[in-house]
Amino acid sequence: MNKRTKGGKPRPLTLKAAFKRADSKSPIGKLTRATVAEWNAQKHRRPSAEEIELINSLFRGCPYAAEGDGIAHDCVRYGVTGLGVQRYLCKGCGRQFTPITGTVFDSKKIPISEWVEFIMNLASYESLTQASLTNMNAKSTGRYWVSKVFEVLRGCQDGVVLSGEVWIDETYFKQTESGLVLHGGRKPRGLSRNLFCVATARDSEGRTVLIPCGRGKPDGERILRALGGHIAVGSRIIHDGENSHSILIERLRCSEEAHPTAETKGLPDSKNPMDTINEVHRFLKKFMARHGSFKRDDLQDWMNLFWFVFTCFGRKELAVNRFLEMAVKCRKIMRYRDVMKKKS
């Protein structure tokens, strides 16, 4: 099996590689190859002066201090890289580093600026495949980058607390075919373990949380564990009358307003008292439909990504700026080989 095959099937070529196979002698072939080469040069250009300036502004001391005695030893400038990135030498541990050593951008081969388009593509509900194609990267690069996105966004919902009027509900995602639990060779009906539950909540200020809470229909304790830390005591809970919500309401000393499904079924969105939370579910389903084959073990990471995109809805520039601000502060080295090995 050669490098261009996997499982006996040919690997899909990148756009650049595919057009390299095009006829280079005919006028049309020359035009298409030259055009794609020009696109590729624009997508994968050398880091700009602005990017180098950004990287050099990120110096925060020796990144290896936490690995040793935890002391931020004195550091001195130690020349620059071939791209103009400032290099430092730590007097304490004797190791060299740059401002992005130890971050998710450590040992990057592609300019950070390409993340601008990648985040914009995700915020536009594009699939990883389409985002990679747009960026003229391999599909594996998209999977690698989204793993970095997950790491940057990990814990992003931890401090979110809803108050006032708070709508709560649950939504579900199907198990993949390979992971189905069968009873007597058949799929069980209803809210079985083949469905992954996500508890969702949103308040009148638009603050939102999405927390996975296991498989199948959740009981009250699971709902409490998922949402209990995200809703202020004394809030007014608006829900669909499910018994599993009662523990949450009681423990947080909340008032409640119940609208059973039998009451709201068939109502237009504008007249449905549960539409505030239903709207979250509509956008969530649309977003996740672009990533239908996602690993269910990564469900919380995907909910974090949707939460991030949803909170920046309609403002791509806000999503890009917020992400890059978080990413340059994220101290985690993620090597391509290690990440993709875990995904295989």
Backbone angles phi, psi at 60, to 5 degrees: -130, 25
Give the pLDDT of residue 303: 97
Among 16-30, 55-69, 160-174, name the one with the lowest average pLDDT: 16-30
In 3D, which of 230, 80, 217 has the Cα closest to residue 155?
230
Which residues, other chains included, contact 40 with Cβ-Cβ below 8 Å and sequence gap of 6+? 15, 16, 136
pLDDT bin (cut points 50, 70, 90) of residue 251 is: very high
pLDDT bin (cut points 50, 70, 90) of residue 199 is: very high
The percent of the chain in helix, strand and coil, each rounded to the nearest 5, is 45, 15, 40
Give the pLDDT of residue 250: 97
In angstroms, rounded to a whole number, what is the distance separating the alpha carbons of residues 194 and 198?
Answer: 13
The per-residue pLDDT for range 56-70, each reduced to its tens digit, is 888 888 888 755 444
* Spans of all domains in the chain: 14-43, 47-101, 168-279
CA 44 to chain centre: 23
* pLDDT tops 90 at residue 259: yes
Question: Which of the two residues, 328 and 278, has the higher pLDDT score?
Answer: 278
User: Which amino acid type is present at position 127?
Assistant: S
In 3D, which of 341, 247, 298 has the Cα closest to residue 128?
298
The per-residue pLDDT for range 27-45, each reduced to its tens digit, is 877 777 777 777 666 666 6
Give the pLDDT of residue 333: 81
pTM of the model: 0.80
In angstroms, rounded to a whole number, what is the distance separating the alpha carbons of residues 75 and 295?
Answer: 42
Which residues, other chains included, contact 322 with Cβ-Cβ below 8 Å and sequence gap of 6+? 308, 312
Among 3-7, 110-114, 148-152, name the one with the lowest average pLDDT: 3-7
CB 163 within 8 A of CB 231: yes
pLDDT averaged over the chain? Answer: 84
Widest CA span of the chain, in angstroms?
77
143: helix, strand or coil: helix
